[in-house]
Amino acid sequence: MLALAFLSLNCSTGILYGSFGPLLASTEQQFSTSRAMTSLGMAVISVFFTGLSPIVGILIERLSVRTVMQLGALVSIVGYVGLGTTRADYMAVLLFDAVIGIGTSLLGVVAPYTLVTRWFSRDRAKAMGVVTLPIVLILIPFIIARLLPYVGRSEIYFALAAIFIVIFLLAFLVIEYPEDIGQRAWGEKQESEGEEVVGCVQRYYLTTRQIFSYPVFWIITLGFSCLAAAGTAFTTHLVALGAERQLSPTLASMLLTIYAGAGIPGNFIFGWLADRFTAARTLVGIALGEAMLCYILSRATGLGIFVIAGLLGACAVAVPMIHGAIFSSYFGTTNVSRALGLSYAIKLPLILGATPFAGYLFDRTGSYNTSLLFSSGILFLTAGAICIAIYLPDRNGRSLAIAEGIHLQAAQNP
């Protein structure tokens, strides 16, 4: 199940974001359009990808993870084949971008995290860290760049569609719950104790309104949104920041490579910390770490910029995994899909606004230092808010600390 979750998330998001850049110039030539118009396609995809997350969570509850994954694979096939065959104006391309956004939403994040939550009681954060390793995202740009001069843009899209045919077929192997085949989740106690192991509110299905009534949901969601927005803005402006610090174009581009590459060891390190000290405390550490690094980066030059970019990447790439681990412990296997879907949709305005806001501050001040200091302050506040959420009781007197403590104790004593 871990391998299937890895393929679902890695191929859906990795192919989406990894193929966009290498195919950008050929798309502009194909449709004789501007860079701004072409880039609009990614914005359309992002809106559908994130905005549909609550619906994906509800579909998983009412259908199954397997069905949702297969629907996502089929929709993605239609989208990538459409991009490879259409010769219409760019509005048709935006239409297919919307289709790919829907497919990515069905395949990425919510469904894989739900599958991991159901199959892992112990080492859950480590398992989510494996699922979110950006392997495909790292490989796809190089593969497309090498093949594009020889096979053309359309053939590349057809090959990407073929990958989703394989994912559709592999999804038949998905088993919803380990109990369906007479097994238990990895590290789970005996069935009589199992209901108390995973979280505070897992025994019955919660409605959207009920999930919204939990203060922990809002604090963790807004904290996650601030961290994700900071990461998005940093990724977008990192190369430009390097140029501002007098780095050559080649060295400035290396900053982004270091940032993304550091996420691989970061996932393992923070996954281990989350399983050892709880995911919520780990998220506090990440927020504090990023806050301090943003402040230091506002004053750094030379080699220090590369070191800080790597450390920020190690922290930022692990944030979605930690977010999933927290909600898994708190909402349990029954409600994690809906809670995650709602949380991802709420972060959309901050994600969309962070990058232009950082650009606005640069235009006003002529430097990225203001953006970095602003991010540092917000992330310090985020860390404080998450600290409060850890011990904030819900209406039943249960807190995130209690939920994660029960889960951690069960994981350490299977």
pLDDT of residue 286: 94
Whole-angstrom distance, CA of residue 10 vs CA of residue 170: 14
Q: What is the residue whose two structure tokens read 């997350």?
A: 53
Highest mean pLDDT among 33-37, 134-138, 361-365: 361-365
Q: How far apart are CA 76 and CA 96, in angstroms?
A: 9
pLDDT beyond 80 at 103: yes
Phi, psi of 173 (to 5 degrees): -85, -10
Which string of DSSP letters, residue by residue, matches 49-72? HHHTHHHHHHHHHHS-HHHHHHHH
2-177 folds as: Growth Hormone; Chain: A; (1.20.1250)
What is the rounded average pLDDT for all residues in the chain?
Answer: 80
The answer to which of 303-312, 373-382, 395-404 has the lowest mean pLDDT is 395-404
Cβ–Cβ < 8 Å for 78, 26 = no
pLDDT for residue 95: 67
**Residue 116: closest CA among 409, 323, 368:** 323
CA dihedral 322, 388, 52, 347 (to 10 degrees): -90
Give the distance from CA 411 to its chain's centroid.
25
Highest mean pLDDT among 24-28, 69-73, 354-358: 69-73
Q: What is the percentage of the chain residues whose pLDDT exceeds 90?
A: 16
Beta bridge partners of 343: none
- For the stretch 56-77, pLDDT in tens is 888 888 888 889 999 999 999 9
Instruction: Give the distance from CA 287 to its chain's centroid.
Output: 16
Residue 120's φ and ψ, nearest 5 degrees, are -130, 120
pLDDT digits (tens, 9 = 90+) for 116-127: 888 877 777 778
78-88: pLDDT as tens digits = 888 888 887 76
Distance between CA 321 and CA 315 in Å, rounded? 11
Residue 161 confidence (pLDDT): 92
pLDDT at 383: 94
Instruction: Say what the pLDDT of residue 163 is.
Output: 92
- Of residues 203 and 189, which shows the higher confidence score? 189
Domain(s) labelled CATH 1.20.1250.20 in the chain stretch across 2-177, 198-412
Confidence of residue 404 (pLDDT cuts 50, 70, 90): low
Q: Give, to the nearest 10 degrees, the angle between helix 124-131 and helix 110-119.
A: 150
Task: Name the pLDDT band for 191 (thresholds 50, 70, 90).
Answer: very low
Which of residues 332 and 288 earns the better pLDDT score? 288
Q: Are 305 and 255 in contact (CB under 8 A)?
A: yes
**Average pLDDT of span 376-398:** 85
Q: Which fold has domain 198-412?
A: Growth Hormone; Chain: A; (1.20.1250)
State pLDDT tens for residues 319-354.
888 888 888 888 877 788 888 888 888 888 888 788
Which residues contact residue 226 at a Cβ distance below 8 angstroms, ignoring those fewer than 6 apart?
Answer: 350, 378, 379, 382
For residue 49 the two structure tokens come to 């990808």
Segment 289-306 shows an average pLDDT of 89
pLDDT for position 27: 66
In this prediction the pTM is 0.74
Query: What is the predicted pLDDT for the residue at 304?
Result: 86
Report residue 95 as tokens: 């239409």
**Torsion region of 278: left, alpha or beta (phi above 0 gives left; psi -120 to 50 gives alpha):** left
Kindly state the average pLDDT of the residues 301-323.
Answer: 88
